[in-house]
Structures are given as C-alpha cells and as structure tokens.
Amino acid sequence: MNEIQIPRRNNLDAFWMPYSDNKYFKSTPRMLARAEGMSYFTPEGDEILDGTAGLWCCNAGHGRREIVEAIQKQAAVMDFAPTFQLGHPIAFEAAARVAEMTPEGMDRVFFVNSGSEAADTALKIALAYHKARGQSQRVRLVGRERGYHGVGFGGMSVGGIGGNRKQFGAQLPYVDHLPHTHLPAQNSFAKGQPDHGEHLADTLENLVALHGDTIAAVMVEPVAGSTGVLVPPKGYLEKLRKICTQHGILLIFDEVITGFGRIGKPFGAERLGVTPDIMTMAKGLTNAAVPMGAVATSNEIYQTIVDGVPAGIELFHGYTYSGHPLASAAAIATLDLHKAEDLPGRALAMEPYFEEAAHAMQSTPGVIDVRNMGLIAGIELEPTPGKPGARAMEVFRTCFDKGVLVRVTGDIVALSPPLIIEKPHVDRLFGTLDEAIRAVA
Ligand SMILES: Cc1ncc(COP(=O)(O)O)c(C=O)c1O
C-alpha cells in the first residue's frame, strides 16, 4: 500500500467542511484515509469499524474490486459525454438496471448527482406532470415535520428539520407539513413498525379540505433517517397512499436512505408494501464510489410529460453530469453486486440479530428509546440538561477513539452499517456503543 500523507494542521484551513463544527474539527481532526470491506483506516493505520456505511451509502462495503475496476475501465474508454440531446450506451444501461429493481410500472429513470438534486427533481417533475395534464393549479407541496430531503431550496423547504432551514430565511412558498410520526409515549422501544400513529396521515385530509385541488405532491421518507430513525407506524403509509390517490395528489417516496437493500428489500416501497408515484434515490446506487442520484417515476408520469408537447424538449431540467459515464459504470457494477450477493436478502437475514443487539441497549443507562428496521437502528439518549446534542456528540467521539464509527443527530445515535456486516461486527458495534454511552454518562 502507498504511504499515506497525513495533512499538516495548517493545511486544514481551506476546506470549509459541510455540516461540521469546523472550529472543533480543525483543532482536533479525526481523519479517514483508507477503506476496505467493513472498515475505515486512519492515516496512522488504526482500523475503524464502519457502523454507518460512510453516510448511509456504502451498502456493499468499501473498496469493492468490481466497482473500482468498472470505474477505472470507463475512465479510460470515455471520461465524459453529455446527455443533452446526445446519449451514451452506459447511461441507458444503468437506467435499465435501476428500472429492474424499482416497483412494477415505475420504469422511467432520470439521473442526477445527489439526493438533494433527486428531491428537487422529483418535486419539479410532479409540478410538470400536473401542468401537462391540465392541472396547473396544483402547485402546493406537502412534506412532513422531521423529514430530510437534502439541501436544495425545494428539498430544504419541503423537509421538516428546523435547524436546516432557520439560517436561510426565504423558503419555497406553498409548502405545508404533516406532523411527524414520533410518538414516544405510545411507541418507545418498538421493534420494526410501531403500532400507534396511523391516524397521523389524516392530517393530509385536513390539508385537502383547506387547499382543495391545489396540492401537487406529498413527499416523505418511508423510514425517516437523518432526523434520527423514525419508522412509519403500521397502516400510516397505506393511508397516505389512499388519500393521495383519492385526491389526485402524487406520492413521492424519498428512498435516498431506504433504497438499495437498506431495509431488507431493494426499496422501502417493497418492504413496506406501498407503491409511490415517484421515488428518489442516491447513496447506495453507486455504493457512493461516484456521486449519483436518480428519480424513478411511473410510466404514466413520463408519458404525460413527454406527450405534453408535440416536439422539442419536454422537460426543461437536467444536470451536466446526469448519467455521467463513470457514475453509470459504478451503478451497473454496484447493481450487479446487489444481485450476485443478494444484498437486500443479506440485510433481511441479519435484521433479527441486529434488532436484538439494538434493543439490548435498553438496559444501557441514559438510553430512552430504540427504533429499528432492516439494518437501521436509532438509539436515543437522554439529553444533558441545557445542552441538547452534546451527549450524543461525545458518544460519537468516544466511539471513534475506540475504533467504531457511528453517526449522531441531536441526541440520537443512528446506525446503518454496510449490508455485508457479520455477527461479530454487530457485537463489536453495539458493545463499543454501550461502553461509550456509559463512559460519557
Ligand atoms: C432521505 C434523504 N434525502 C436526501 C438526502 C440528500 O442527499 P445528498 O446529501 O446526496 O444531497 C439525504 C441525505 O442524507 C437523505 O437521507
């Protein structure tokens, strides 16, 4: 292996780190320099067990040879080609592979470069669809409290995490939010889908009563991830689906986290038995080896928009890098791996063991809730009085220093390991987390 250069402290200034405490990091850097299988390695060579698949994205594990080679090969064959009014075979092939995994009838795939772009693209497609079918009054978008749909103006506005919005003033107009589905009094320590909360979908009926036929779409994550793992109550998504269908509203699932096997099926839609009209994806699509996202729509949505104009460009939307050759190559290799290794099936098979390990944390002092589905778990800690988020951040740092990467949001520890995780990794992940929580108590 090549010698790894450790950046000098005075080299850390230029990179303005995203979603980070820049001042703290630059005074106490924790660096990752290499990754393989279930692990990262620091520049000093210390192994860190990856309990988060990077950022919910390296579902097939790190450094997969098949993906690396596909990217290398494609870079040598054709580095870039535009997809505006031109095409390259590999982008079409990647789209066809995605369409093989999406629910039946959702076979049209628009490529983007991130989850944020996927969210904004999905919202724009929803608006364009209604306009194309003569319902241009449908301009309202409905999200959900505690939802995360990335950082573009659309996804930020429809998203429901106050902390992500309050710095930026102007939001999209005509946006409403459903209540979140977190009911700790009734549902704490539920395994999988909680029993209570189906009725929370009824709020959509109230919005319809208020706004009539001006709602274009409702966008939710099947399992909310970034807000700290909120699993949908039994019957809730089914009810949302029913109300949307009744009132001509499109249902968008943001599957950026739940896609590609994370909850034991190719997509959350399949696991949860509810088919949306549009779904967004990113992260696991290329195993994060090259940035790529996508939006899959029903054939009807595609056909309505495309048939909506007699000739010429049908949708005035797209990115220079939509269907980028390297990303397309990475996606094809990743989806081949998903099939060959049945990664969703592996996640499903590991779920009971992972679930037991997660719920065993109930006896760790300071743990006030545990939630889980597939290979996602949220462990909620009692906040330190007057210092929200401080306790979990300390747990994150302690875990890292003990050789395990976890993710925290507020006072919730979120775990989402690569789907290739084995039982000894699960034991180490939760064992170290338990030690860290006790250490910072
Ligand atoms: C559900 C969901 N949507 C959108 C995004 C945004 O993705 P990106 O950071 O790739 O823009 C994320 C990122 O975590 C996400 O979890």
Residues 252, 399, single domain; the answer is no
Ligand 1 atom having least distance to the Cα of 254:
1
- Quote the pLDDT of residue 11: 85
Tokens representing 380 are 């909620």
CA 365 to chain centre: 30
Ligand 1 centre distance from Cα of residue 115 (Å): 4
Dist CA 225 CA 135 (whole Å): 33
Amino acid at 173: P
DSSP 291: -
11-41 pLDDT, tens digit per residue, is 899 999 999 999 999 999 999 999 999 999 9
Domain edge (last residue) among 282, 311, 341 = 341
Residues 75, 223, single domain; the answer is yes
Ligand 1 centre distance from Cα of residue 54 (Å): 13
Residues 263, 325, single domain; the answer is yes
Let me know if residue 46 belongs to a domain: yes
Ligand 1 centre distance from Cα of residue 150 (Å): 5
State if residue 288 touches ligand 1 by the CB under 6 angstroms criterion.
Answer: no
Specify the higher pLDDT residue, 378 or 1: 378
State if residue 164 touches ligand 1 by the CB under 6 angstroms criterion.
Answer: no
Mutate to test the pocket of ligand 1, among 121, 220, 227, 257 (most ligand atoms within 8 A of CB): 257
- Quote the pLDDT of residue 441: 77
How would DSSP label each residue in 105-143?
T--EEEEESSHHHHHHHHHHHHHHHHHHTT-TT--EEEE
Residues 28, 163, single domain; the answer is no
Let me know if residue 146 belongs to a domain: yes
State if residue 119 touches ligand 1 by the CB under 6 angstroms criterion.
Answer: yes
The total of other beta-carbon atoms located within 10 Å of residue 438's CB is 13
Let me know if residue 181 belongs to a domain: yes
Whole-number average pLDDT of the chain: 96
Residues 307, 409, single domain; the answer is no
For 387, residues 6+ apart whose C-beta sits below 8 A from its C-beta are none
For 138, residues 6+ apart whose C-beta sits below 8 A from its C-beta are 127, 130, 213, 214, 215, 216, 248, 249
Ligand 1 atom having least distance to the Cα of 55:
14
Ligand 1 centre distance from Cα of residue 102 (Å): 19
Mutate to test the pocket of ligand 1, among 59, 230, 283 (most ligand atoms within 8 A of CB): 283
Ligand 1 centre distance from Cα of residue 234 (Å): 24
| Secondary element (H or E) of residue 423 | helix 423-440
Ligand 1 centre distance from Cα of residue 52 (Å): 14
Range of the domain at 407: 22-63+342-440
Residue 240 sits in a domain of what CATH number? 3.40.640.10
What whole-number percentage of the chain has pLDDT above 90? Answer: 97
CA-derived radius of gyration, the chain: 22
Residues 200, 156, single domain; the answer is yes
Ligand 1 centre distance from Cα of residue 283 (Å): 8
Dist CA 283 CA 260 (whole Å): 9
Ligand 1 atom having least distance to the Cα of 221:
1
Let me know if residue 10 belongs to a domain: no
Amino acid at 79: D
Ligand 1 centre distance from Cα of residue 117 (Å): 9
State if residue 259 touches ligand 1 by the CB under 6 angstroms criterion.
Answer: no
Residues 142, 119, single domain; the answer is yes
Residues pairing with 407 in the sheet: 414
Mutate to test the pocket of ligand 1, among 117, 149, 321 (most ligand atoms within 8 A of CB): 149
Let me know if residue 97 belongs to a domain: yes
154-170 pLDDT, tens digit per residue, is 999 999 999 999 999 98
pLDDT above 80: residue 7:
no
Total number of domains constituting the chain: 2
Residues in the chain: 441
Ligand 1 centre distance from Cα of residue 16 (Å): 19
Please name the residue whose Cα sits nearest to atom 1 of ligand 1: 256
Ligand 1 atom having least distance to the Cα of 147:
1
- Quote the pLDDT of residue 10: 60
Residues 405, 300, single domain; the answer is no
Please name the residue whose Cα sits nearest to atom 8 of ligand 1: 115
Residues 428, 363, single domain; the answer is yes
Q: Would you say the C-alpha torsion 258, 262, 266, 272 has a positive or negative sign?
A: negative
Residues 231, 207, single domain; the answer is yes
Ligand 1 centre distance from Cα of residue 383 (Å): 25
Of 371, 376, 342, the C-alpha closest to 263 is 376
Let me know if residue 41 belongs to a domain: yes
To 5 degrees, how large is the angle CA 92–CA 93–CA 96?
Answer: 85
Let me know if residue 16 belongs to a domain: no
- Quote the pLDDT of residue 4: 57
Domain edge (last residue) among 314, 341, 368 = 341
Return the residue matching tokens 């850390």: 12
Ligand 1 atom having least distance to the Cα of 293:
10
Residues 43, 172, single domain; the answer is no
Domain edge (last residue) among 286, 315, 341 = 341
- Banded model confidence at residue 320, pLDDT cuts 50, 70, 90: very high
Using an 8 Å Cβ cutoff, are 50 and 412 in contact? Answer: no
C-alpha distance from residue 404 to each of 40, 224, 367, 434 (Å): 9, 23, 19, 12
pLDDT above 90: residue 339:
yes
Ligand 1 centre distance from Cα of residue 76 (Å): 30
pLDDT above 90: residue 9:
no
Dist CA 153 CA 170 (whole Å): 9
Residues 162, 227, single domain; the answer is yes
Let me know if residue 34 belongs to a domain: yes
Q: Which of 271-275's residues contact partners 24+ apart within 8 Å by CB, and which partners? A: 271/222, 271/373, 271/374, 272/193, 272/222, 272/232, 272/237, 273/238, 274/222, 274/237, 274/238, 274/240, 274/241, 275/103, 275/105, 275/106, 275/241
Residue 48 sits in a domain of what CATH number? 3.90.1150.10
pLDDT above 60: residue 6:
no
